Amino acid sequence: MVNPMVFFHNAVDGEPLGYISFELFADKVPKTTENFRALRLFWVLCTRVTTSLAIMALAPNPSMGRIFDENFILKHMAPGILSMANGGPTTNSSQFFICTAKTEWLDGKHVVFGKVKEGRNIVEAKERFGSKSGKKITIVDCG
């Protein structure tokens, strides 16, 4: 099985920031990968940045997406890991984050389902802006 690739085009206050591509681990976590791909049109609206740990994004309505559980085989072992945010068992749905550091304490709690393939510099730029800057960081296109 060849794992699918997806991309985000990002902006800061409406100005282009750049492109990030991800490999999705459909071979290991097929439910999570398919849910993420099915929601791709909804990722466009907002992003929250928590500097030094993760860049989080969510659909405009947090109840979008299927609610499900999947395995925790993959680990938060490096920056650039793509993982589903959740509030406990059976709460994976429409929020995800990109790790900006090794976050092993998240292992067994959040499903890792991909990694940054290109655009690590864009992830770092988004992290530098952070939510406290007041700048609006958005995903303006994805596919």
| 48-71 per-position pLDDT tens digit | 666 567 777 655 555 555 566 789
Asked if residue 36 has pLDDT above 90, the reply is no
Q: Could you please report the per-residue DSSP string of the chain?
A: -PPPEEEEEEEETTEEEEEEEEEE-TTT-HHHHHHHHHTGGGTTSEEEEETTTEEEEE-SSTT-S--B-----S---STTEEEE--SSTT-BSSEEEEESS--GGGTTTS-EEEEEEE-HHHHHHHHHHTGGG---EEEEEE-
Check residue 65 and give its pLDDT: 52
What's the confidence (pLDDT) of residue 73? Answer: 95
49/13 Cα distance (integer angstroms): 14
Q: Round the average pLDDT of the chain to a whole number and report it.
A: 82
Contact 85, 109 (CB under 8 A): no
Indicate the range of 18-22, 41-45, 53-57, 113-117 predicted with least confidence.
41-45
pTM of the model: 0.85
Rg (CA), the chain: 14
The reported pLDDT for the residue numbered 47 is 55
Tokens 């609006």 belong to: 136
Residue 82 pLDDT level (bands cut at 50, 70, 90): very high
- Which has the higher per-residue pLDDT, 46 or 128? 128
Q: What is the pLDDT of residue 32?
A: 87
For residue 116, the model assigns a pLDDT of 97
User: What pLDDT is attached to residue 37?
Assistant: 84
Please state which of the four CATH numbers 3.30.160.60, 3.40.50.300, 2.40.100.10, 1.10.1060.10 is assigned to the domain occupying 5-142.
Answer: 2.40.100.10
The answer on pLDDT for 33 being more than 60 is yes
